[in-house]
Amino acid sequence: MSSTSDLQQQDLSLYSDNTPISQKTLSPNYNSLNLLLNSQSNKPTWLITSLIESCLFDTNYINKFTNNPENSAYTIASPRSHVVFASFINGSRVYSKLFKKYLKLDIESHQFHSQAHVKGSLQTLKRGKQTNGFQFISFLEDGFENWFDTLINKLEQLRKGTKENRKKINLFLENPELVLYLQDQSPSHQQREATNELLSKLTQLNQLANVFIVSSSDKQLLDWSSELNNDLSLIHSDFLLKLVHKSDLIVQLKALTTGRADDVTGELKVSRGCLDLTSSIGVDASEKEYIYLANKEGAIKLFYR
């Protein structure tokens, strides 16, 4: 492979209309299910941040001509669409630097408004005034017990109002499969029931919003050959396979298949899911592969593979 210095930098595009988040996916007629998969060596922090930016402001800090949310027609008080970001493995500190630098949002600010009518850290960002354009929830910090009720209540709250004025909701879930790993060991049929119950809850959430599920795709977690009922790889493989069959879009971050390179961090592959998105909303996931370079500040450069 040639050096990235010889390649032309590209914009992030996940859909056939050459956008990271297509306007057609924000229509009220269809809620998409999207998978953002990553390996342990290729963290998805930058990808999640850039997609949330596109949902909120229709800008994307990775892309050359739409990389400044302050020039957007949208604001956090009046966003392009709502975003609820719920993490099962991280607190807001993990994302604070990228959000502050590229989205001009301080998600650790003491000015956040905490809503106590549901259990969980429902923090409202303040960009000029308090608003619910973006919500961050950390189940790692606040506990997993009522995670589903917390999210259902939040989505239903955002859906209140007239249909004409209602904006699309995008729900980002970071590693929800963790609730399966924290359960007591049980026979394989009970583990399958637990997986199916989790998928049922995710489907209910998907009925209220576009859902982006962030999950791991490391090879050691994908193994159907294990003879141990409670093997994490077997549980994870079953969960992920069933999600793939329900998905509209699959984005995968992974290490270079050709080995290490000083000027390449990893690969990004965009694929269609198993569902026909075009027949539903008139736009499809694009099929393409990038290589990308990430620096310590979180800046990303994309190149076609």
The pTM of this model reads: 0.89
Residue-wise pLDDT tens digits, 63-82: 987 777 888 899 988 999 99
Question: Does residue 19 lie within any of the structural domains?
Answer: no
The CATH number for 213's domain is 3.40.50.300
Buried b (16+ CB within 10 A) or exposed e, 113-148: eebeeeebbbbbbbbeeebbbbbbbbbbebeeeebb
| Residue 118 counted as domain residue | yes
Residue 280 clears pLDDT 70, i.e. is over it: yes
Rg (CA), the chain: 19
Number of domains in the chain: 1
Kindly state the average pLDDT of the residues 11-39: 95
**Does 293 map to a domain?**
no
Question: Degrees (nearest 5) of the Cα angle 215, 170, 63?
Answer: 80
Domain assignment present for 300: no
Q: What is the pLDDT of residue 220?
A: 63
**Locus of tokens 């998805």:** 44
| 93-151 pLDDT per residue, tens | 999 999 999 888 888 874 433 343 334 444 444 333 335 689 899 998 888 889 999 99
Asked if residue 2 belongs to a domain, the reply is: no
pLDDT at residue 214, as a whole number: 97
Which range marks the domain in which residue 227 is found? 30-261
